[in-house]
Amino acid sequence: MSDLGSEELEEEGENDLGEYEGERNDAGQRHGHGRARLPNGDTYEGRYEFGKRHGQGTYKFKNGARYIGEYFKNKKHGQGTFIYPDGSRYEGEWADDQRHGHGVYYYVNNDTYTGEWYSHQRHGQGTYFYAETGSKYVGTWVNGQQEGAAELIHLNHRYQGKFLNKNPVGPGKYVFDTGCEQHGEYRLTDVERGEEEEEEETLITVIPKWKATKITELALWTPKIPEESPAADTLPGQEEALGVEGAETGEDTQVPTDISEGENESLRAGDEDGDTTREDGQDEFLYDTDQGNISFEEEETRQSDLQE
């Protein structure tokens, strides 16, 4: 995808002056507002300081890409928007010519990533939305990969757990809209891909396989209401009023959001992740990066039968 494309879009250096129209200081340096056409065909219009792009400006590449934002000593630094040749764009913070800080990346397939960046890569807390399926990954990223505690939210269910190298690993749980949870863990499984010509060893790929252990109802939490004895001088009707107030408070429920013990599945959408597929007759799911969103209709039916 183009979120790594800006490394190939080098701007002209300070010694490649080209043509310039604009303000200068007493030393003859570009200083203030100006417009420049560079020898490589790129153009820049904006602020200069002591001969360097510094402040707000717009840099247009000859291939159609452009950057609109802040500069610091000839480098993209601060808030800015970069529009890539394929139409994707990044809006957010920059540091030393790299995406760094908080920003939003809009991909050409309509996927989006909103979150933290570090040295041009998704890193820290972030949300990736898959436009094709409507699913989204909400959690931790490390060096551009989904890694750490996260929640993968689908249209009718969600998975809570952890990722490692873009794959779900270890214990986790699926939470279904039908009102149940499936607990289990992802275990790494070797799968033979085939033999290369003129090679004796077969190529092995490791994919996570879901192994269910139990199915439970949703863990709902109901706060306890302290009982209060009515005062001796309670007026008629006050006891009834107290009862109504307690009932309103007791109706509040909350679904726990702690997912520290979970492990994440990933899905295939755009250029990101795979999804899980169900094996016939087993409580297992294969994590297949070449498949789309999985269907849990059979799983939900089976879980409902178990609960009955």
Q: For residue range 49-96, what is the model confidence (pLDDT) as tens digits?
A: 999 999 999 999 999 999 999 999 999 999 999 999 999 999 999 999
Nearest Cα residue to 96 out of 72, 62, 122, 68 = 72
**What pLDDT digit, counting tens, does each position of 140-151 carry?**
999 999 999 999
Between CA 308 and CA 130 the distance in angstroms is: 35
In the prediction, which pLDDT does 188 show? 81
d(CA 158, CA 265): 9
pLDDT at 16: 59
Domain extents for the chain?
Answer: 1-108, 109-220+255-308
Class of domain 1-108 as given by CATH: mainly beta
Question: What burial class does residue 196 get, using C-beta atoms within 10 Å of its C-beta: 0-12 exposed, 13-18 middle, 19+ buried?
Answer: exposed
Beta bridge partners of 191: 205
Q: How far is CA 10 from CA 34, 106, 145, 228, 304, in A?
A: 20, 21, 25, 72, 58
Phi–psi pair at 306, nearest 5 degrees: -65, -40
How far is residue 3's CA from residue 79's CA, in Å, rounded to a whole number?
A: 17
> Which residues in the chain come in under a pLDDT of 50?
1-8, 192-198, 200, 231-308
